[in-house]
Structure 1
Amino acid sequence: MVQVDVFWSYAIGAGFAVAATRQIARAGRNNSASSPAPNRWVRFSSPHRAVTLLYCAVLFAASGIYLLWAFPDWETMQVATDHESIPAWLVTLFAITNVTQGLLGYWVAERLILAGHRYAALLQAGLGYFAMFFVLVHGWDGRGYQRFFSADQETFKTWPADPSFGEALDRIGRWLTSPVAFTLAAMSVIVIVLLWVMLDSLREGYRDAGIHREPSTALLLVTLLGMVFGVCVLSAIVASVLVHLLGWFMGVLVAAAAIWVAVVWPRTGVAYRLFRLLRLDDTPADEPSRPVAARA
């Protein structure tokens, strides 16, 4: 969706950088050791940055343009009705930002990794996915999920102001048999490619670091998917509910505090535990869980 992809592409770029955390850190050390003033263009030789650019340009941006052309009302969250109502400059900007935001997400996460803030880099991906799901769940008028689960603008207009849980489920079920849902299902191959690239980068990093007891593929998949479709989705839903109950000002404040304690703060947050499961910190190889006293 036009309103969503700007956040999604940022999260994708940051996620690619996070998966290549160890490679980025190693390259940064090598560049610093080889020359006090390395060539500023050397960063564009990074294979992981190149993969990010190719993924966003060839797959992600292309899929967005296809959806905008095939389902203009759904892709604009029921704002536009047909192609004629969408200005050409908006389509162009949409295609460009699907690439540039991905590169921006990669660059921000890369800078954080090189500065030694690896957990903060992971949070960049989480922030992008949270913003994406909040727009899908809440939107700008509290009806984001209704806009998403409507195949076209006519269907969206039939939603009641305050639908019951049963009616909402019934409408979601009908949406699952719509051409939009079938198209998204076919495009899930793009997500599979995304996961494959991230898993490959993670495993490359483990090998380079000499980590022999690396996490299994199943654990890595559960961790990555749990971060996105568990932590970020639930955080967006909680934030939306609080905004509905308390209004924008108090709802945002309470949601921010709750998410900070439950998700972000290293002492209590689930995101930090997922970060440790991915073994992206500076813990020595093959010593992820041994107590400090045992290492002495």
Structure 2
Amino acid sequence: MIQIQAALFWAYGTGATFAVSAARQLQWWQRSVHEEGVRTRSRAANPYLLLTVLFAAVLLVPTGLFMMWQNPSWATMQVAGGHRGIWAGFVLLYAGGTVVATLLGFLVAQALVLVGAGYWAYLQSVGAHFLLFAVLVHGWDGTGYRRLLTTSRGALRDWPKDSVINNLLHFLTSGTFLALLILGAAVIGTMLITEIGWLMEGWELPGADEDRGVPRVLAVAIAAAGVYGLPFLGAVAASGLVRLAGWAVGLPVFAILAGVVLLTRRSPVRALYGLVGIPRRHWKADLELAY
């Protein structure tokens, strides 16, 4: 249900977020079959992996295809003027690519979680959502937010002729926005319920209370801010720097700032991540300590 140029970033980020939300359960899943001699459980039997793929196939893909049919101009960020402007094979690639990107995001984040690199799994989600918001806020030519908030090529061309408020009102009263509102309630609602539910399920497992440093409600708020709020603010900041200093200067400056915020050992993001209660190390570390 998001515009095509940003759809794969959203799919990858959603898959990664699902894996991070279920990080403790995924470690528990691996631990339960440790040293059994034979693989008694197929990877395809992983319920969290299956539910993630099901979410992509049943909700992300159909709603995206519906928006492409309902308003191909908006769905392509006004690149295509109508259905004839979209190659039929591209629709197939979009449908399959969304599922594959979601699966890839989950598997990469899961692999990082299972080797004790949960923070890097979280950064998979941050990076993908940053690219998602960067496309929607700035785009490839600085008009990303205009392409998001207009429903046709004509409306995009006429944007400078009216105020931002009037342009926004035109979009909010359109059939496209109504469709987004209805579909978004189903897709985003299911997504958030799943992520929060898996976090809370993980907190019931042994060791969770020791890792979580704040009450559950606050931990959920911190997790949401870290996964969605931080990338959005980053996209706005990157767009502002590019507009002020150009691509050659703005992007390197933003990259340095992002590195300080995300990668340094004493970064505020690392500190907040540590409060949520997601495993900070590989589960086998506990076994080694026991010896």
Q: Same fold (TM over 0.5)?
A: yes
> For the residues of structure 1 that align with 2:257 and 2:165, how far apart are their CA atoms?
28
The runs of 5 or more residues in structure 2 that have no matched partner are 282-291
Question: Of 268, 271, 274, which aligns to 2:272?
Answer: 274
| Equivalenced residues, count | 276
The CA deviation string for residues 74-110 of structure 1, in whole angstroms up to 9 with x for no partner, is 0100001111110111000011111100000001001
- Mark the CA change 1:177 to 1:54 in structure 2 (over 3 Å): closer, same or farther: same
Larger RCO of the pair (alpha carbons < 8 Å, separation 6+): 2
- Mark the CA change 1:229 to 1:116 in structure 2 (over 3 Å): closer, same or farther: closer
Q: Which moved more, 1:97-106 or 1:222-231?
A: 222-231
> For the residues of structure 2 that align with 1:264 and 1:178, how far apart are their CA atoms?
42
Q: Give the superposed CA RMSD.
A: 2.1
> For the residues of structure 2 that align with 1:142 and 1:91, how far apart are their CA atoms?
26
What is the Cα deviation at residue 243 of structure 1?
1.3
Q: Is the 8 A contact 2:126 2:228 kept in 1?
A: no
TM value normalised by structure 1: 0.87
SS in 2 for 1:208: coil
Alignment pair present for 1:19 and 2:26: no
Alignment pair present for 1:193 and 2:195: no
- Mark the CA change 1:66 to 1:217 in structure 2 (over 3 Å): closer, same or farther: farther
> For the residues of structure 2 that align with 1:170 and 1:277, how far apart are their CA atoms?
42
Alignment pair present for 1:230 and 2:229: yes
Alignment pair present for 1:56 and 2:56: yes
> For the residues of structure 1 that align with 2:81 and 2:98, how far apart are their CA atoms?
22
Matching of residues 60-79 of structure 1 within 5 Å: 60-79=60-79
Name the counterpart of 1:108.
108
What is the Cα deviation at residue 274 of structure 1?
3.4
> For the residues of structure 2 that align with 1:221 and 1:281, how far apart are their CA atoms?
15
Q: Is the 8 A contact 1:136 1:144 kept in 2?
A: yes
Q: Is the 8 A contact 1:199 1:220 kept in 2?
A: no
Q: Which moved more, 1:92-101 or 1:214-223?
A: 214-223
> For the residues of structure 2 that align with 1:124 and 1:282, how far apart are their CA atoms?
15
Name the counterpart of 1:136.
136
